Amino acid sequence: MKFENSLSFAKRLDKADALKSFRKHFEMPMVNGKKCIYFTGNSLGLQPTSTKKFVNEELQDWAKLGVEGHLHSRRPWLYYHKFTKKALAEIVGAKPIEVVAMNQLTVNLHLMMVSFYRPTKERFKIITEAGAFSSDQYAFESQLKWHHQNTDEALIELKPRAGEYALRTEDILQAIKSHAAQLALVIFGGVQYYTGQFFNIKKITEAGHQAGAYVGFDLAHAVGNVPLTLHHDGVDFAVWCSYKYLNSGPGGIAGAFVHERHAQNFELPRFSGWWGHYEKERFQMKKGFIPMPGVDGWQLSNFPVLSGAAHLASLEIFQQAGIKNLRKKSLLLTGYLEFLLKEIDAEQKFFTLLTPSNPNERGCQLSIYMKQKGKKVFSALSKAGVIADWREPNVIRVAPVPLYNTFEEVFRFAEIFRKAI
Ligand SMILES: *Cc1c(COP(=O)(O)O)cnc(C)c1O
């Protein structure tokens, strides 16, 4: 599409937006008594207006039924994780047996690494992107220590080429190939949290498997943001959180994927708990763990229903909107933002974009690398009612989210940003 730098053009796009009705299903935060421009759905997604109802229903059922709610509430708590499966499977491109809502992201990452990072004398290396999210780095480091590995030798962190901000797929594939004989695990972000780069999950997975390694992804910034086909791509495992693009509330319940090919593999070592035990015998409280088939067999504890209720409220919206439709709008919305930003500073004197310009290699987010006046510009944005995200040393991340952001907001943001500069 040929974009135009004008308010009337932005308004025309909003008018033609098939998803425009979804905005009113979200609570919009206020700054100085006015609705803000909320471009931080990549950090904490907004609250759906239906969340209160879902959570309240559980509070009511708990009040009315007490423990009987496990079986007799309107969404029996005993089976709660099952109610999320269909929507999650659609969002990550998986079968219901491959997805489950459980725990928190970093917990799930550890659980998956317990099963899929099994270093031997020959195969012990992990390949990942340099500058992964801190929690992931700590998880990798501690897993390596746990297995008495030397971090310097075993952890391969891939950096972009000199002068570039994103990793080239060909370089990732080459690195996997060159470490093949010693490679145990390939693990990448789906969308890199800092640069916004959307990695080529299919190609990385194929290369990892060819090298004889397991392949996993941290989808914190990918889930609900970009199209995913985990089953088809053959990914071994994936983890995500639900409070970013999935709008399920601060600290909301996370999720995990384990490919169907591992569904019946009960030999895989794992850390177990009663909620992963064979369902029909779970309450017999017997000795001897028998896992549920599929990813359900990795569950530890009984389901956090209040946080799960908020998750369900949001997943219902994703099912109504459709992940394909969301992506279609997202490509336009972020494309428009990129177009307007480039018009502001064509010579890149003040800033440059870290995020790949190829729309297939990014999601909603654009990471603006400030060459000067970064902090000042950011504080001017805040004063003007923009909620964006500052990352040290000099990056402003903005993410127009197709469920609730508009083209007019993108236009107004660009105006505010231009004036701030
Ligand atoms: C947001 C995020 C996390 C946060 O981890 P929690 O366990 O949810 O606190 C971890 N990794 C990545 C890549 C993230 O983007």
Q: What is the mean pLDDT of each run of 10 residues along the chain (421 residues)?
A: 96 98 97 93 98 98 98 97 97 98 98 98 98 97 97 97 97 98 98 98 98 98 98 98 98 98 95 95 92 97 98 98 97 98 95 97 98 95 96 96 98 97 93
Mutate to test the pocket of ligand 1, among 43, 188, 193 (most ligand atoms within 8 A of CB): 193
Q: Which atom of ligand 1 approaches the CA of 193 most closely?
A: 15
Count CA atoms closer than 13 A to 158's CA, side-chain side.
26
Name beta bridge partners: 370. 351
Residues 6+ apart with CB under 8 A from 141: 151, 155
> Two tokens at 178?
């060159």
Instruction: Check if the beta carbon of residue 193 is closer than 8 Å to that of residue 136.
Output: no
For the chain, the C-alpha Rg in angstroms (whole number) is: 22
Which of these CATH numbers, 3.40.50.170, 3.40.640.10, 3.40.50.300, 3.40.50.150, describes 56-319? 3.40.640.10
> Two tokens at 240?
């995500």
Domain boundaries, the chain: 7-47+322-420, 56-319
Mutate to test the pocket of ligand 1, among 103, 113, 135 (most ligand atoms within 8 A of CB): 135
Residue 93 pLDDT: 98
Ligand 1 centroid to Cα of residue 133, in Å, is 7
Of 6, 401, 45, nearest to 249 by C-alpha is: 45
* Identity of the residue numbered 206: E
Ligand 1 centroid to Cα of residue 43, in Å, is 10
In short, whether 189's Cβ falls inside 6 Å of ligand 1 is yes
Residue nearest to atom 14 of ligand 1 (CA): 220
Element (H, E) at 332: helix 323-344
Instruction: Check if the beta carbon of residue 105 is closer than 8 Å to that of residue 241.
Output: yes
3-state secondary structure of 270: coil
In short, whether 105's Cβ falls inside 6 Å of ligand 1 is yes
3-state secondary structure of 252: coil
Instruction: Check if the beta carbon of residue 323 is closer than 8 Å to that of residue 91.
Output: yes
Residue 1 pLDDT: 86
Inter-axis angle of helices 305-321 and 85-92, nearest 10:
50
Q: Is 212 left (phi over 0), alpha (psi -120 to 50) or beta?
A: left
- Could you please report the per-residue DSSP string of 72-138? HSSS-GGGGGGGGHHHHHHHHT--GGGEEE-S-HHHHHHHHHHHH----SS--EEEEETT--HHHHH
In this structure, the number of other CB atoms found within 10 A of the CB of residue 175 comes to 19
Residue 32 pLDDT: 86
| Whole-number Cα distances in Å, 286 to 243, 275, 283, 334 | 36, 13, 8, 54
Whole-angstrom distance, CA of residue 100 vs CA of residue 89: 9
In short, whether 315's Cβ falls inside 6 Å of ligand 1 is no
Q: Which atom of ligand 1 approaches the CA of 135 most closely?
A: 10
Ligand 1 centroid to Cα of residue 343, in Å, is 33
Instruction: Check if the beta carbon of residue 278 is closer than 8 Å to that of residue 290.
Output: yes
Ligand 1 centroid to Cα of residue 221, in Å, is 9
Question: Could you give the dihedral angle defined by the CA atoms of residues 179, 185, 237 and 112, in that order, rounded to the nearest 10 degrees?
Answer: -170
Whole-angstrom distance, CA of residue 183 vs CA of residue 126: 6
In short, whether 193's Cβ falls inside 6 Å of ligand 1 is yes
Instruction: Check if the beta carbon of residue 49 is closer than 8 Å to that of residue 250.
Output: no
Residue 269 CB burial class (10 angstroms; 0-12, 13-18, ≥19): exposed
Count CA atoms closer than 13 A to 64's CA, side-chain side.
11
Residue nearest to atom 15 of ligand 1 (CA): 220
Q: Is 348 left (phi over 0), alpha (psi -120 to 50) or beta?
A: left
In short, whether 364's Cβ falls inside 6 Å of ligand 1 is no
Mutate to test the pocket of ligand 1, among 106, 311, 391 (most ligand atoms within 8 A of CB): 106
Q: Which phi and psi angles does 257 have, rounded to 5°?
A: -125, 135
Q: Which atom of ligand 1 approaches the CA of 243 most closely?
A: 8
- The gap between the terminal CA atoms of the chain, to the nearest Å, is 27
Ligand 1 centroid to Cα of residue 328, in Å, is 26
Whole-angstrom distance, CA of residue 75 vs CA of residue 313: 13
Ligand 1 centroid to Cα of residue 7, in Å, is 36
Q: Which phi and psi angles does 335 have, rounded to 5°?
A: -60, -40
In short, whether 42's Cβ falls inside 6 Å of ligand 1 is no
Residue 344 CA to its chain's centroid (Å): 30
Mutate to test the pocket of ligand 1, among 42, 103, 105 (most ligand atoms within 8 A of CB): 105
Q: Which atom of ligand 1 approaches the CA of 251 most closely?
A: 8
Name beta bridge partners: 399. 40
Residue 99 pLDDT: 98
Whole-angstrom distance, CA of residue 90 vs CA of residue 99: 10
Which of these CATH numbers, 3.30.70.20, 3.40.920.10, 3.90.1150.10, 3.40.1190.10, describes 7-47+322-420? 3.90.1150.10
